[in-house]
Amino acid sequence: MNLIIDVGNSYVKLAVFKLGALKYKETITLDSVMKSINLLKGKYPSIKKAIISSVGKLNNEDVKRISEDFYVMILDSNVKLPFKNFYTTPNTLGVDRIALVCASVEQFSNNNVLIIDAGTCITYDFITMANEYMGGAISPGLRMRYKSLNNLTANLPLLESEIPKSIIGDSTKASIHSGVVHGILKEIDGVIEEYNRKYSDLTVILTGGDANFLSKQLKSSIFANSNFLLEGLNYILQFNSNE
């Protein structure tokens, strides 16, 4: 069994996989990591290997303690990957984006795939049917847009995400919801349309914390999978363990 530790900007996701199947998943705060892992050790004594993907900060002491119980792989740009990387700055490619591309290699081989991760940022990653990762784009995510309107203006309030009732906002709050949500939806649909012009056989994956909120409102045909990054991390661990 494999333990997946995904340290994000805001939260940590823990997952347990057995033979490629997700058996357990939870989202916790950074200060709860060791407590939760110790509980998982008792619940799943067959866990032998772990992978740590960290865009946030997991301190060295916690990494050392985890390494005492499992074989641990730290995901970075030096790990052997199952695709050709044409990113011109591979050392700056985020580990979360690496994991998403690996998931697409495992599940959609021989396809042109666009992966859209709607989280703190919205990332777009494209890999060709020839297994060549070309890059993509990064833009502000849903919460970042709401917070920016509040932080960078004098009078606009900070709102929680809400599906707008109309494209025409008839109040300041309604206008913010319309601008933020419709702006993201038009962006995503527009990016997908642009890729479809060039790659007619395109497969589109939507994942990330805001995937469920956005998926039903998009016009484009997509596969929504909230566990795509975790599945990619598990595949990287398996890919390197089978060497």
Is position 87 annotated in a ligand binding site? yes
Query: What residues does each domain of the chain span?
Result: 2-74, 84-232
Is position 96 annotated in a ligand binding site? yes
Class of domain 84-232: alpha beta
Question: Which CATH entry fits the domain spanning 2-74: 3.40.50.970, 3.10.450.750, 3.30.420.40, 3.90.79.10?
Answer: 3.30.420.40
Catalytic hit among 96, 125, 170, 189: 96
* 243, pLDDT greater than 60: no
pLDDT-above-90 percentage for the chain: 84
Contact 22, 3 (CB under 8 A): no
Is position 203 annotated in a ligand binding site? no
Mean pLDDT within 46-64:
87
Instruction: Summarize pLDDT for 137-183 with one digit per residue, the tens.
Output: 999 999 999 999 999 999 999 999 999 999 999 999 999 999 999 99
Which tokens go with 14?
A: 């823990």
Contact 232, 99 (CB under 8 A): yes
Residue in 135, 216, 214, 140 with CA at minimum distance from that of residue 181: 214
Answer whether 2-74 and 84-232 agree in fold.
yes
Tell me, yes or no, if 210 is annotated catalytic. Answer: no
Is position 54 annotated in a ligand binding site? no
Q: How many residues does the chain have?
A: 243
Mean pLDDT within 16-37:
93
pTM: 0.91
d(CA 131, CA 109): 8
